[in-house]
Amino acid sequence: LAACVAQTEMTAPMGDPRYIAQPLTDEIYTADPSARVWDDGRIYIYASHDVPVAEELIGTAEAFDMRDYRVLSMDRPGGAVTVHPVALDVADVPWATQQMWAPDAAYKNGTYYLYFPAKDADGVFRIGAATSPSPTGPFTPQAAPIAGSYSIDPGILADKDGEHYMYIGGIWGGQLQRWQDGRYDPAGSDTDPTPAGQPAIAPVVARMDDTMLQFAETPRPIEILDESGEPITADDLDRRFFEGAWVFRRGDTYYFTYSTGDTHYLVYATGSSPYGPFTYRGRILEPVEGWTTHHSITEIDGNWWLFYHDTQRSGLTHLRNVKMTPLTFRDDGTIVPIDPTPG
């Protein structure tokens, strides 16, 4: 996420025909949608809950000062959207102080798990876990963040063999560049110090243990390769990883999808293992209105959907609204890219 977000703010009303999809709710501002379909067949969206902030914060990463999570749900695409009560409040998380950013969720053996990034008392992003017998919460947080976790944007892959993997990372405001030698460097860069031509900073993945509350292993970096099998480099801004990893499996192919941040694309790479390496394949979504772009991709009754956000309702980068639109795969497994504002 931008350390300092500069953009021209603009206002576009709901229902504006330029947009291929409309906001799923106008009750609250929501972003970073992680859409899940659990055993009851209902669609649950675990999202950031954006809030207004003081004027002087607008245009900075501190404008993303979210305090709680609210789950959205619907019985089918196009169905009525329910905005559920607060699922987890930062005031109830013993170790967290601020900035409840992009969450995700998982289900195992009758328990729902909410995973979320937040800053601790030292201003360092960690990943927390919370549990509930209900998909909409309220969730009970663990006393401490997941040991060995850092940075932002946890994304969960529930693989077909029952294993769960957590993908994490975000550069700039997400602090991933400050963890490059395994320890947090408080004096590290606010952006990305990697020299041009060097491999881009890598997101990481760890398998969850049986409790779903800890990692079973030390997080490992993920390689994202170009068409020649070489690592994507830090200066390849249209293709390098920035934040918002979302991994799903389609057949035997693992799709590692992510945001390129300051170039505003959602893109994807594919591989044959949850650990990668993944080879870059192309774009999923052209830039949306607003600085950030963040998504999930979910199969619902045999059809694939892209959940994403933009700033159609507010015209302000820190007050976003989630949307969903159909996603099409070609016969060779590549994705048909979407332009969110045609015409």
Residues 79-118 contacting ligand FUB, CB under 6 A: 101-102
Record the tokens describing residue 278, joined without a space: 């993944």
Residue 225's nearest CA partner among 217, 216, 236, 214 is 236
Q: Which is nearer to ligand FUB, 48 or 149 (CB)?
A: 48
Q: Is there a catalytic annotation at residue 299?
A: no
Q: Which is nearer to ligand FUB, 242 or 280 (CB)?
A: 242
**Among the listed residues 24, 87, 146, 152, the single contact to ligand FUB using CB under 6 A:** 152
Instruction: Identify the active-site residue in 65, 104, 243, 310.
Output: 243
Q: Is there a catalytic annotation at residue 32?
A: yes
Neighbour-count burial of 326, counting CB atoms closer than 10 A to its CB (0-12 exposed, 13-18 middle, 19+ buried) = middle
Residue 185's nearest CA partner among 193, 260, 2 is 193
**Among the listed residues 5, 19, 21, 32, the single contact to ligand FUB using CB under 6 A:** 32
Distance of closest approach, residue 167 Cβ to ligand FUB, in angstroms = 12
Strand order through the sheet with 104-108: 104-108, 111-119, 125-132, 140-141
Q: Is 31 in the site for ligand FUB (CB under 6 A)?
A: yes
Q: Is 2 in the site for ligand FUB (CB under 6 A)?
A: no
Residues 273-302 contacting ligand FUB, CB under 6 A: 292, 294
Distance of closest approach, residue 117 Cβ to ligand FUB, in angstroms = 6
Distance CA 296, CA 305 (A): 8
Omega before residue 138 within 30° of 0, cis: yes
Residues in the chain: 343
Q: Which residues are at the interface with ligand FUB (CB under 6 A)?
A: 1, 31-32, 48, 64, 101-102, 152-153, 170, 243-244, 292, 294
